[in-house]
């Protein structure tokens, strides 16, 4: 495709909204935010929307579905953190505080679409439909991915930063070549946007006009590195224009705004308008993982400030006021969340049936002398334990 052809395509897309190609690609001047922290629907002129950047409100039924997934997501995060404290799991990168992003990333997709998550996206993977104990397999140190990616259209949760973005672009490219109408959501964090693979994935997706939504959860930290030391761009959403794609900034603790922005992004991508970058502003409420002490690099007051913007309380207040969250509905939703937490507790409290020697399989086709030596040492140690 020639440069002119790309310019023509952008003009065609922006014409649909009656704005210039630059205004289509640049994020709206203010972050999209539909609900105030107390759950009040903001007046139109305060929503951050502007001509060409308008967002239809999700239907009550869709909001209730998303709220239910949100409540389950919070319960799962807190259950898993408790299991770590009880020694049943070695490590868990909690998305406590980011659950609205997690839910929207999965629910905006339709059948046949693909999700490419990271280690922090357990709740998104669950919301995509992966069975709870299958999601936890790798955190348990049991087998590699733990679920069949093709059965769920959900890639393994990537720990190497941004490798999954390249895989996501590859899947979208293959689907396009096959004439399939597949949309791909590829997730990553703020820190991950500094990786070379992030650049390559975005560039390839834009040049080949692929239906990928790059969904960046800007939770303000990459382990101990604050966002101020991560990027000098006006926002991460602004990076999109450099690749020739549209960028959006959305309040990542506002479930209503996220559902709206992500559903629109998926529709635009499916209609052949190319990739989009959505930056969700949220906050990592807990330490990076249980292996990290966040008190060494941030103030309690900062965490408290974000607690007041909790995504669960915000949408709950809205649904309550709108008369949607009846006592019966709340009880059903809570029961559903408890059932998932119980499945996790019961599953995690059973010892994993693993062979530590499997560690050495599938690394190299023929083992290095060092690996063979380490394998023999471990085999010897295990035999002594048994004796």
CB nearer ligand TPP, residue 130 or residue 188 = 188
Among this protein's residues, is 249 annotated catalytic?
Answer: no
x-or-dash pattern for ligand TPP, window 165-204, by CB under 6 A?
-----------------------xxxxx------------
Q: Give the sign of the dihedral formed by CA 217, CA 223, CA 226, CA 229.
A: negative
Tokens 């992003």: give the residue.
Answer: 101
Q: Does 190 bind Mg ion (CB under 5 A)?
A: yes
- By a kind-dependent CB cut-off of 5 to 8 A, residue 53 interacts, out of Mg ion, ligand TPP, none, with none
* CB 163 to Mg ion: min, Å: 17
- By a kind-dependent CB cut-off of 5 to 8 A, residue 159 interacts, out of ligand TPP, Mg ion, none, with ligand TPP
x-or-dash pattern for ligand TPP, window 348-387, by CB under 6 A?
----------------------------------------
CB 13 within 8 A of CB 30: no
CB 279 within 8 A of CB 213: no
Q: Does 97 bind ligand TPP (CB under 6 A)?
A: no
CB nearer Mg ion, residue 27 or residue 189 = 189
CB nearer ligand TPP, residue 197 or residue 251 = 197
Among this protein's residues, is 167 annotated catalytic?
Answer: no
In this structure, are strands 212-218 and 184-189 parallel, antiparallel, or unpaired?
parallel
* Residue from 49, 80, 219, 282 in contact with Mg ion (CB under 5 A): 219
Distance CA 34, CA 49 (A): 9
* CB 225 to Mg ion: min, Å: 9
Q: Which stretch binds ligand TPP (CB under 6 A): 218-226, 307-315, 340-348, 377-385?
A: 218-226
* Residue from 71, 222, 256, 278 in contact with ligand TPP (CB under 6 A): 222
Round to the nearest angstrom and report the end-to-end CA distance of the chain: 67
Tell me the DSSP string of 78-127.
HHHHHHHHTTS-S-----TT-HHHHHHHHHT--TT-EEE-BTT-HHHHHH
Distance CA 70, CA 64 (A): 10
- By a kind-dependent CB cut-off of 5 to 8 A, residue 160 interacts, out of ligand TPP, Mg ion, none, with ligand TPP
Q: Does 193 bind Mg ion (CB under 5 A)?
A: no
How many residues touch ligand TPP (CB under 6 A)? Answer: 15
Burial of 317 from C-beta contacts in 10 A (0-12 / 13-18 / 19+)? middle
Of 9, 12, 19, 8, nearest in space to 49 by CA: 19
What tokens appear for 287 in the block?
A: 């330490």
* CB 119 to ligand TPP: min, Å: 7
């Amino acid at each position: 495709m020639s440069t002119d052809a790309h310019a023509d395509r952008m003009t065609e897309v922006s014409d649909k909204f009656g704005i210039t190609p630059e205004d289509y690609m640049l994020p709206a001047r203010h972050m999209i935010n539909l609900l105030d922290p107390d759950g009040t629907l903001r007046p139109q002129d305060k929503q951050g929307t502007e001509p060409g950047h308008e967002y239809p409100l999700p239907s009550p039924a869709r909001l209730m579905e998303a709220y239910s997934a949100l409540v389950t997501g919070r319960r799962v995060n807190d259950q898993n953190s408790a299991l770590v404290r009880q020694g049943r799991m070695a490590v868990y990168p909690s998305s406590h505080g980011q659950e609205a992003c997690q839910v929207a990333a999965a629910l905006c997709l339709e059948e046949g679409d693909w999700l490419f998550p990271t280690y922090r996206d357990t709740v998104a993977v669950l919301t995509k439909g992966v069975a709870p104990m299958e999601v936890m397999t790798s955190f348990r140190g049991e087998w590699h991915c733990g679920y069949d990616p093709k059965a769920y259209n959900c890639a393994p949760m990537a720990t190497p930063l941004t490798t999954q973005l390249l895989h996501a672009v590859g899947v979208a490219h293959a689907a396009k070549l096959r004439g399939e109408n597949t949309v791909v959501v590829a997730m990553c964090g703020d820190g991950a946007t500094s990786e070379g693979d992030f650049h390559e994935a975005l560039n390839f997706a834009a040049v080949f006009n692929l239906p990928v939504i790059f969904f960046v959860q800007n939770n303000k930290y990459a382990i101990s590195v604050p966002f101020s030391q991560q990027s000098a761009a006006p926002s991460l959403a602004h990076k999109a224009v450099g690749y020739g794609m549209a960028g959006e900034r959305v309040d990542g603790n506002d479930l209503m705004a996220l559902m709206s922005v992500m559903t629109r992004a998926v529709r635009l991508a499916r209609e052949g308008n190319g990739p989009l970058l959505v930056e969700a502003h949220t906050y990592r409420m807990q330490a990076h993982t249980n292996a990290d002490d966040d008190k060494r690099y941030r103030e309690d007051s900062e965490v408290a400030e974000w607690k007041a913007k909790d995504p669960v309380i915000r949408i709950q207040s809205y649904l309550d006021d709108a008369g949607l969250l009846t006592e019966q509905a709340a009880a059903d939703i809570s029961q559903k969340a408890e059932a998932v937490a119980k499945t996790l507790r019961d599953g995690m409290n059973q010892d994993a049936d693993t062979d530590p020697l499997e560690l050495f399989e599938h690394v190299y086709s023929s083992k290095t002398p060092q690996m063979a030596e380490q394998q023999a040492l471990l085999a010897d140690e295990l035999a002594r334990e048994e004796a």
